[in-house]
Amino acid sequence: MPDDNIVYDEWLPLWEQHIKSVDPADLDAFIREHCRDADPAHVAEFRKTAQALRGIGPALRRFGADSTPAPGDASAGTEPAAPAAGWEPIPGYRTERLLGRGGYGEVWRAVGPDARPVAIKFVSLADVRGLPELRAADLMLGVNHPHLIKLLTARQMDRRLLLVMELADGTLGERLAVARAAGQDGVPRDELLGYMAQAADALDFLNTGGPDRPPAQHRDVKPQNLLLAGGVLKVADFGLVRCLEHTLTTHTGAHTPAYAAPELFRDKLSNRTDQYSLAVTYCELRGGRLPFRGAKDAQMHGHLSEEPDLSMLPPAERPIVRRALAKTPRHRWPSCTAFVAALRDGVDPAAVRRELISDLNNVTLRRLYLSVRTDAQLRADKRSRTRWPARLVAVTTARYSVAVGGLSWLTYRAVRDPEGGGWWPVAITGFVFVAVVGLLLGELIQRRRGVRKLASEFGPVRHFPFPYIPLDEIRDHYSRDRDADDAKDPAHKNAVWFGSR
């Protein structure tokens, strides 16, 4: 039985030679010829890696580099077993010292042709785990934004990807450490909001796409990937960048659990995924700790089903951040920029109320509104017009019709036959009419009071429940952040009168 290394030491080198010599290369035929008697698990792993490697050639041709430098080519440099100081892997770029090492490679400080310091990232392409860096480089090369780390050039050298990028002075994670060492809970608010505004601008630039590039999500926003260069924030590390073909699409790949949005744990990706991670990052940088703590399993459970602990933030900021941390993506702020603007400038209660009226089942938005609602808006909520359910209208109409019909019939009999009817039919009919109308008015008054009580506690209410739903059930409905459009959730069976449906 072959060992695990056969995939990378034998089959992949043969496959790379095969795709260079045969166009188009037939992967199934190659597997039948070379892997026929191998372990099916190894064959499956090889197939996945080989299919991913199909995209390397076109991507590297876009970088203007051959897939493998010619032996003895001085212009390509001579690669040692590992990067070392003083090596010139790309003409004009000479390494100086190691800056960091990760799972897929190393980052070195280097000097470019114009003596400008740069960073060179060495990424191993020996297995499929390094291929996201290649795809991200293919996406980001040529993308210019003042708050995105600029990718200057890229090369492949002997199954390594070399990415030459701007060199930053440090990270926001390091800035937080400096603030903590000075006795502060986190980065000062005004300074931090400046950084957050720049990060939001860059993330929205990625999220919205452009004429020549698709929308994308970073998927790994955290303090260590928010760099500082000359006092300007730069978003970096695009290895997990994923293009968005739809508002909610399938996600595959790694992420940092402490900062990951709930949909990432469900292998989904939305156009507001980065906003969630930015909000978690803000909590840590502002207050010195995360909203969900513990081991990875505890963090995942917190992101999926628990309320965030926002006690590290000032009370005025908590409802704003809580909306950005909504479990349902569409309940978050429309953009990262809108989220940071709310933190910086505060929330306009009137604008929040208008948005809530158009989306009454947005639990997170309702909670935000209740936290900023003014006395004038409370009075407006109590005066808001309600639409009565058809069942209540039908019952009321039937009662009124019976009362009026009975009164009309008895009055007619009394007028036609005064001797036989006397005065008592009119009296009885009048008594019944007054009683029915009294009960009807009492019921309407009671329900109107119920509407006002709901409006006082929950804000605008467009429908009133009938039969009456206990306030405890409604309170429970509005105390949890869940998607009211999910018909599979039985908890929403009593919420129909509160939606815009």
CA dihedral 211, 215, 220, 226 (to 10 degrees): 30
Measured CA distances, 266 to 61, 225, 269, 387, 484 (Å):
35, 23, 9, 38, 18
Which residue type, as a one-letter code, is found at position 485? D
Please, what is the angle between helix 273-287 and helix 172-181, to 10°?
20
Backbone angles phi, psi at 32, to 5 degrees: -65, -35
Q: Report which of 103, 6, 13 is spatially closest to residue 45, judged by C-alpha positions.
A: 6
d(CA 371, CA 350): 12
| Cβ neighbours of residue 288 closer than 8 Å, sequence gap 6 or more | 176, 180, 185, 186, 312
Tokens 């000032």 belong to 314
CA distance linking residue 222 with residue 241, whole number of Å: 14
53 φ/ψ sector (left φ>0, alpha ψ -120 to 50, else beta) = alpha
CB 290 within 8 A of CB 284: yes
Q: How far apart are the first and last CA of the chain?
A: 62
The alpha helices in 86-188, defined as continuous H runs, are: 131-140, 172-181
Task: Tell me how crowded residue 109 is: count the other CB atoms within 10 A of its CB.
Answer: 16
Peptide bond preceding 329 in cis form (omega within 30 of 0): no
Q: How far is CA 466 from CA 14, 159, 240, 412, 451, in A?
A: 72, 68, 50, 36, 11
Catalytic residue numbers read 220
* Joined tokens for residue 34: 């070379």
For residue 335, give the 3-state DSSP assignment.
Answer: coil
Q: How many residues would you count in the chain?
A: 501
Amino acid in the structure at residue 156 = Q
